[in-house]
């Protein structure tokens, strides 16, 4: 496994930097992570699409919790939607409207072709801001591709884009592990996450109520850093 020399992994270096340089360094880290993941997802789009076809049983349970009680044709936002399959496709099939946002043009092109009823936007989760609110928001297996220094800010933005009574469905990494890169289909990807407890703390501090929360993979100590899923509701 290779590692990017992130600020999070080099705390002594950070201490020696001025606040301005530290901000520049974090911005450079996040931009590098974003560029790496975008190029990598674009180049593995076909392999990813062939592998990611059906919902896993716990994903169905989380989707059920997300969409419970929603009126027909409710507006749902999917941040890091990939090819739209299987999550956005299932939400559309259940009679809702989906706006999907993803940085990877090749994956989004698949979503556009297969699901013309969806509203597919090429863009970064970091810069997406909507004037409207959504009845439900999904950010599934995408936040952990973004530098953790941005997570609290992005979670706060998701909460503001959520309509009262709306729910947010999210996965994060399962441990305290520092930022790292790993390979998938022969390409390198950047990963970073706060541990689940801290993410829940941020969500609760933003006024959200946990509905469903559990480990999908326990951190195995080696390559698997774990993966934790939540559905939270805005009062």
Which positions touch ligand SAM (CB under 6 A)? 34, 37, 41, 52, 80-82, 87, 102-104, 107, 124-126, 140-142, 145-146
- Looking at the Cβ atoms of 71 and 194, the one nearer to ligand SAM is 194
Contact between 181 and 3 (Cβ < 8 Å): yes
- Tell me whether strands 134-139 and 119-122 are parallel, antiparallel or unpaired: unpaired
Q: What's the min distance (Å) between Cβ of 166 and ligand SAM?
A: 18
DSSP conformational letter for 218: -
Q: Can the peptide bond before residue 186 be classed as cis, meaning omega within 30 degrees of 0?
A: no
Contact between 196 and 212 (Cβ < 8 Å): no
Q: What's the min distance (Å) between Cβ of 81 and ligand SAM?
A: 6
Q: What's the min distance (Å) between Cβ of 156 and ligand SAM?
A: 16
The CA-CA-CA angle for residues 139, 70, 61, to 5°, reads 55
Work out the angle between the directed axes of helices 19-43 and 105-114 (0-180°, nearest 10): 50
Q: What's the min distance (Å) between Cβ of 45 and ligand SAM?
A: 9
Q: What's the min distance (Å) between Cβ of 212 and ligand SAM?
A: 17
- Looking at the Cβ atoms of 104 and 179, the one nearer to ligand SAM is 104
- Looking at the Cβ atoms of 70 and 125, the one nearer to ligand SAM is 125
Nearest to 194 by CA among 170, 159, 210, 169: 170
- Looking at the Cβ atoms of 62 and 234, the one nearer to ligand SAM is 62
First to last CA, the chain: 42
- Looking at the Cβ atoms of 87 and 137, the one nearer to ligand SAM is 87
CA distances from 177 to 159, 172, 194, 222, 226 (A): 26, 12, 8, 10, 10
Work out the angle between the directed axes of helices 196-205 and 151-161 (0-180°, nearest 10): 40
Q: What's the min distance (Å) between Cβ of 138 and ligand SAM?
A: 7
- Looking at the Cβ atoms of 153 and 204, the one nearer to ligand SAM is 153
């Amino acid at each position: 496994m290779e590692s990017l020399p992130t600020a999070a992994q080099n705390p002594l270096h950070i201490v020696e930097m001025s606040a301005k340089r530290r901000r520049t360094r974090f911005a450079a880290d996040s931009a590098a992570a974003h560029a790496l993941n975008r190029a990598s997802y674009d180049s593995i789009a076909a392999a990813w699409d062939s592998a990611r076809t059906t919902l896993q049983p716990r994903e169905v349970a989380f989707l059920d919790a997300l969409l419970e009680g929603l009126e027909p044709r409710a507006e749902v936002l999917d941040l890091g939607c990939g090819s739209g399959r299987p999550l956005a496709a299932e939400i559309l099939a259940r009679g809702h409207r989906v706006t999907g946002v993803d940085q990877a043009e090749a994956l989004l092109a698949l979503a556009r072709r297969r699901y013309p009823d969806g509203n597919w936007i090429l863009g970064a989760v970091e810069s997406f801001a909507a004037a409207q609110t959504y009845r439900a928001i999904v950010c599934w297996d995408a936040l952990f591709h973004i530098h953790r220094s941005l997570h609290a800010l992005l979670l706060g933005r998701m909460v503001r884009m959520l309509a009262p009574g709306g729910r947010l469905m999210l996965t994060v990494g399962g441990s305290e592990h520092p930022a790292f890169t790993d390979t998938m289909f022969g390409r390198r990807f950047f990963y970073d996450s706060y541990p689940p407890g801290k993410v829940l703390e941020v969500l609760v501090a933003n006024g959200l109520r946990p509905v469903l929360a559990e480990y999908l993979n326990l951190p195995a100590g080696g390559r698997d850093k774990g993966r934790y899923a939540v559905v939270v509701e805005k009062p």
